[in-house]
Amino acid sequence: MANLALINCTSLSEHAFLPLADGKSSFDMVVDLAKALPDISGLVCLCSREDDLAGKIEGVTCISGISDPQGLFTALRDLCEKQDNLNSLFYLFGDTPLIDPALCERMWNNHRRYHADYTFADAYPAGIAPEIIRASAVSALASLADGVTGPIQRDSVFEVLRKDINAFEIETEIPPLDLRMLRIRLAADGKAGFMLVKGVADAGVRGAEALLRYLHENQQILRTLPAYLSVQISSPCPQVCTYCPYPETAGDVLNLTEHMSLESFNGLLKGYTDFAEKGYVNLSPWGEPALHPQISDILNTILEYPNLTGVIETAGLGWKRETLARLAEKAGDRLIWIVSLDAHTEETYRKLRGSGFQEAVAVAKTLLELFPATAYVQAVRMDSNEEELEHFYRSWKELTENIIIQKYDHFSGRLPQRRVADISPLKRNPCWHLKRDLVVLVNGDVPLCREDLDGQYSLGNIFTDGFETVWKAGEKYYNQHLEKKYPELCSECDEYYTFNY
């Protein structure tokens, strides 16, 4: 009985082919590793197009035309049917050079010993181990994958399998140190991923257990590039919300008039993609996006950058259906909408936000119709609306699964504490926002984070200093968090454990 190594190459970035250790690329190292896996009789690369690996590798079978989980499992089923005496498939990605051979051997021994259908490394960082699939289980998985569309994800195999998880014998490998809270992926899947993989490779760290210790003890290496850019494009708001500190610091928010120009916004996105390559662009930390006089052009500008996804946080006021419909025709899943409602009844809504309840609800329903996969309704949970949150959830649940119940933020003591439950972790982690977010105000100023309303910890100005300078300026504060030393603003903040995409 023999095994096949399957390397998923369906969405490799150029960074997978940049040199790492000894001049070899991540892809080169994955191929070498795959050839050395236990009882391997052949190696197959799975591609989306015929020319994906042109000139990159010789002497390896390539299967092209794979674009979704259904196509993936159809290809695996066809492979298994053509192979005699095939035991199992080792499934790995072509940009994960830090897979541990010793861990692979241990997983294979357990997979064989316990006659498993599927074996995976649970709670290890992604990219440190392959998945092992028994050939006899592939046909059943292909049936489960029938009709599953969308791009192939790193967890697509498990997501298909868990549709009928009790039908399969599963073995797991558990790490001695659980780093799931760090959300690590050891893959050269972009500029940030390459930086992380190269940093680990340059440090000479090899083997799963050594990797776990190194990543746990050297978390500064995890702050690579900003993944979430929050941009204030408009200063005015249509409402004065009772749980928001912006009116206190900005003044009469109903009558503010400052907007970021379309030219400045486009330059901002170009600078962001030049620096970070890809990420999410949030509109907006303060102010209502719909009040920008060129909001349609602003959103279309985001769509001109294929590596960016827009996140629009809105009160749901001021939008025109025709504008939203035109955006829906071209946006696909690259615009994410979050409508802040906060209440089930108009009476509570008025107390929290003011007028506009009927319009906001109507816009939310329009967005759910036009963007069913990426539109969300949201309520901030606090003492003022706790009694009707269940009704809010149940009523919207009839229309969508996309419901966000957001924690209350007292902005480091600037606002009264109105939370109804403390959900903060027992052990404080370094702030996710210092690790992966940047906030840009309408004039280009970059505060430490959204909580820094007074600009006390300014990182500079994005238009005059550039992304590299302002991102570097935030590094010292993140390192202070690693040392459990917190600036005054951070010491009272409880947003450190919240995560933006």
Q: Quote the pLDDT of residue 161.
A: 97
pLDDT in the model for residue 397: 97
**Residues 420 and 381 sit within 8 Å (Cβ to Cβ):** yes
- pLDDT-based confidence at 227, cuts 50/70/90? very high
pLDDT single digits (tens) 175-220: 999 999 999 999 999 999 999 999 999 999 999 999 999 999 999 9
Non-local (6+) Cβ contacts of 20 within 8 A are 26, 29, 97, 188, 197, 198, 201
The residues that bridge with 229 in the sheet, in sequence order, are 281, 438
What pLDDT shows up at residue 384? 95
pLDDT tens profile 78-91: 999 988 889 999 99
Give residue 429's pLDDT.
95
* pLDDT confidence of residue 83: 86
* Banded pLDDT at 53 (limits 50, 70, 90): confident
Mean pLDDT of 254-264: 97
- Tell me the two tokens of residue 133: 């699939």
**pLDDT tens digit string along 400-434?**
999 999 999 999 999 999 999 999 999 999 999 99
Q: Is 95 helix (H, G, I), strand (E, B) or coil?
A: coil
Pair of tokens at residue 490:
């951070």
Q: Place 327 in a pLDDT band, splitting at 50, 70 and 90.
A: very high
pLDDT at 54 over 70: no
Rounded to the nearest integer, the mean pLDDT of the chain is: 95
Taking alpha carbons only, the member of 58, 43, 31, 61 closest to residue 5 is 43
What string of DSSP letters covers 408-431? P--TTTTS----SS----SSPPPP
- Which pLDDT does position 253 carry in this prediction? 97
Give the tens place of pLDDT for each residue, 370-406: 999 999 999 999 999 999 999 999 999 999 999 999 9
**For residue 361, is pLDDT > 90?**
yes
**Is pLDDT above 80 for 18?**
yes
CA 14, CA 34: separation in Å to the nearest integer? 20
pLDDT surpasses 70 at 26: yes
pTM for this structure?
A: 0.94
Q: What is the pLDDT of residues 84-142, one digit of tens each?
A: 889 999 999 999 999 999 999 999 999 999 999 999 999 999 999 999 999 999 999 99
Distance in angstroms (rounded) separating the CA atoms of residues 308 and 397: 29
The span from the CA of 242 to the CA of 252, in Å, is 14
Q: For residues 202 and 189, what is the distance between their CA atoms, to the nearest angstrom?
A: 18
pLDDT of residue 158: 96
Supply the pLDDT for residue 55: 62
pLDDT at 341: 98
pLDDT score, position 49: 79
Res 59 pLDDT > 70: no
Which of 180, 278, 176, 129 lies closest to 499, judged by CA?
A: 180
d(CA 32, CA 75): 23
Please report which confidence band the pLDDT of residue 323 belongs to, taking 50, 70 and 90 as the band edges.
Answer: very high
SS3 content of the chain, % helix, strand, coil (to 5): 40, 15, 45
pLDDT of residue 84: 85
Q: Is the pLDDT of residue 52 over 80?
A: no
Which tokens in the block code for residue 75? Answer: 């290809």
| 3-state SS assignment for residue 19 | strand
Query: How far apart are the C-alpha atoms of 385 and 391, rounded to whole Å?
Result: 10
How far CA 256 is from CA of 236, 239, 335, 446, in Å, comes to 5, 12, 26, 20
